[in-house]
Amino acid sequence: MPVLYSYTAMIPSLPPSTGPIGVFDSGYGGLTILDKIRGLMPEYDYIYLGDSARCPYGPRSFEVVYEFTLQAVSKLFELGCPLVILACNTASAKALRTIQQINLPVIDATRRVLGVIRPTAECIGEITRSRHVGILATAGTIKSESYLLEIHKLSPDIVVTGEACPMWVSLVENNEYQSEGANYFVKQHINRLLDKDPVIDTIILGCTHYPLLLDKIRQFTPGHIRIIAQGEYVARSLQDYLNRHPEMDARCEKGGKCRFLTTESENKFEESASIFLGRQDIKVESIALE
């Protein structure tokens, strides 16, 4: 993964703080992660930041995803977040490790940035029986092989097969995920995945948009195959992390509040957020990242 030292030097050191848990995504899909986290831990404060003006991240280079993600993490740190969750598979795949290893020691070694790939990888060894696992994700996540690497760190015997589904995010964001037209694209990629490895008994949805397609995915997937959506596993992993790190838990404010930020227009975000959260009362602020 590329390391951009020049950008690191531009970021000032920030003082220790207490504040909300930050949740970042390139757009709207991370709202499915936030929803599960808030469902499990409603007492905490949260800031959700969606870089909707520059999404999707999937087709972008490692360097650009890293730069954009670091800008977002830095903004959330400036807003007081001691802990940030990258609720975006592409950002987790292309930027997380560099930010953890290179940037955090410069910005503030007491803060933490966590991703969504590791928590999902940790559960797979106990779920699959055939030891053959499929990944449905964006082209960027599949190309990074992040799921393969993380799963093999924990369960090197598991065979991991990926299938990029470039149309699925558009189906969700254009509110076409329940349409008959979506059937073709969902069935096509599931069939391709199972053609590559017919022994797969577990499929990970490696994109935060894909839970909205879950009904269609199940419709075209053999019944014996288990479908894993990330939200509940990320939420449990975060809860476990805070239980194991009381010093970080003490820095996470608990007032049950949630703030929504977007780099797009407020109205556009509110409209799209209603699809992911199933509610209309989202109040959003527009910000700039640089």
Residues tagged in the binding site annotation: 25-26, 57-58, 89-90, 208-209
Q: Do 49 and 20 meet the contact criterion of CB atoms below 8 Å apart? A: no
DSSP-assigned states of every residue in the chain: ----HHHHTTSPP-----BPEEEEESSSTTHHHHHHHHHH-TTS-EEEEE-GGG---TTS-HHHHHHHHHHHHHHHHHTT-SEEEE--HHHHHHTHHHIIIIIHHHH-TT-EEE-SHHHHHHHHHHH-SSSEEEEEE-HHHHHHTHHHHHHHHH-TT-EEEEEE-TTHHHHHHTT-TTSTHHHHHHHHHHHHHHHH-TT--EEEE-STTGGGGHHHHHHTS-TTSEEEESHHHHHHHHHHHHHH-HHHHTTB--S--EEEEESS-HHHHHHHHHHHHS-S---EEE----
- Mark the binding-site residues for substrate, compressed into ranges: 25-26, 57-58, 89-90, 208-209
Active site residue 123: no
Residue 211 CA: distances (Å) to CA of 21, 35, 62, 201: 23, 12, 25, 18
Active-site residue 207, yes or no? yes
The 10 Å Cβ neighbour count of residue 6 is: 7
Please count the CA atoms within 13 angstroms of the CA of 1 that sit on its side-chain side.
25
Q: What's the first-to-final CA gap in the chain, in angstroms?
A: 22
Q: Which of 55, 81, 165, 207 is catalytic?
A: 207
Active-site entry in 88, 123, 252, 258: 88
Active-site positions?
A: 88, 207
